[in-house]
Amino acid sequence: MCTGDCAKCLGTTLIPLAVLCTLANILLFFPGGKVVENNQHITDEVWYFGGILGSGVSMIFPALVFLGLKNNDCCGCCGNESCGKRFAMFSSIIFAAVGVLGAGYSFALSAVALNRGPKCYTGTEWTYPFQDGNYLANHTLWNACLSPENIIPWNLTLFSLLLIMSGIQAVLCGIQVVNGLLGTICGDCKCCGCCG
């Protein structure tokens, strides 16, 4: 597979992942699937927009660049058409690095949110009743959260999805860094004999 085709494949995969991450983050604004009376009752990590900004918006730019690499020759340079493709592949490395940073931000935020647990009403106040992820292995602790209903499975599911999808995005952008490096050195595989 040529480097341009590989980049297009990566871009095609990143777009739906970015949309799903954005949707997961939006759903986290509705703890337990319900509208809250007070925005302060929403888990703090939701407000950092890891799925919307990190794995969503910041992933769209690399994905669009990757999708356009197959046909982008940057008009060639010095009478050499492949030179423009090499520059395009080099620029894709920068966008892939932006994608890795965005996905890393979302990944770290999701890991912190899973470890900390959701914000819920314990009968006396709205607080974080769990510490250091102790609720993940001990389901009897879930009784500490009285409201919103089903907040723990809701947060666990959505933050776990964000964690997994942002990890996949980081890996895909990392692959594009290597692919972009190969494309910069070899052009679009024609000089390396990688294409049939």
DSSP element (H, E) containing 166: helix 151-186
pLDDT at 187 over 90: no
Distance CA 143, CA 26 (A): 26
pLDDT digits (tens, 9 = 90+) for 85-136: 778 888 899 999 999 999 999 999 999 999 999 999 999 999 999 988 889 9
Distance of alpha carbon 117 from alpha carbon 128, whole angstroms? 7
- 8 Å CB contact between 51 and 19: no
* Number of other CB atoms surrounding residue 118 within 10 Å: 27
What digits encode the pLDDT tens for the residues 16-56? 999 999 999 999 999 989 998 899 999 999 999 999 999 99
The predicted model scores a pTM of: 0.87
List the alpha helices (DSSP H) in 28-150. Answer: 58-68, 81-116, 134-137
CA–CA dist 121, 3 (Å, integer): 52
Extents of the domains making up the chain: 3-32+42-72+82-186
